[in-house]
């Protein structure tokens, strides 16, 4: 079972909580035991599991990446100015796999699924949600 969800992004670098959207896909395609794969299509975005108690962790993630991987100093910037976006996305990776336990995603209380945008804003980011059970 697979669905493509789409979300817009509003900033150049940002984390967007997509947990509710992924839960909706699982509700429409229920399994008791299995896995949910969440994969973003694009070379300048990633998927991360992170805390969502408040926005501070998401801001810290963006701040860390901006300090470690600044804009405008990479060879690829001569092509289209987004060398940092590719490097950030490569470190985070395009996907996460979450176990399905008793029909629900096996995320802990503090874990949520985030789209990491590193080259926005974008009118649409496509994310493939695949359920195997």
Alpha-carbon dihedral 86, 87, 92, 97, rounded to 10 degrees? 50
CATH of 7-132, one of 2.60.120.460, 3.40.190.290, 3.40.1160.10, 2.40.340.10: 2.60.120.460
pLDDT tens profile 9-32: 999 999 999 999 999 999 999 999
Residue ranges of E strands in 20-121: 33-41, 45-51, 95-101, 104-105, 111-117
The domains of the chain are located at: 7-132
d(CA 100, CA 58) in angstroms, rounded, equals 25
Q: What is the pTM of this model?
A: 0.96
pLDDT tens profile 71-111: 999 999 999 999 999 999 999 999 999 999 999 999 999 99
């Amino acid at each position: 079972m697979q669905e493509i969800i789409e979300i817009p992004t509003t900033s150049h670098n940002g984390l967007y909580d997509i947990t509710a959207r992924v839960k909706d896909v699982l509700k429409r395609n229920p399994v008791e035991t299995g896995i949910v794969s969440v994969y973003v299509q694009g070379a300048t975005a990633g998927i991360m599991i992170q805390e969502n108690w408040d926005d501070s962790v998401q801001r810290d993630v963006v701040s860390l990446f901006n300090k470690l991987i600044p804009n405008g100093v990479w060879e690829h910037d001569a092509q289209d100015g987004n060398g940092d976006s590719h490097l950030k996305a490569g470190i985070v990776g395009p996907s996460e796999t979450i176990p399905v336990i008793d029909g629900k995603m096996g995320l802990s209380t503090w874990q949520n699924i985030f789209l990491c945008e590193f080259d926005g804003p974008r009118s649409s980011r496509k994310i493939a949600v695949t359920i195997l059970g």
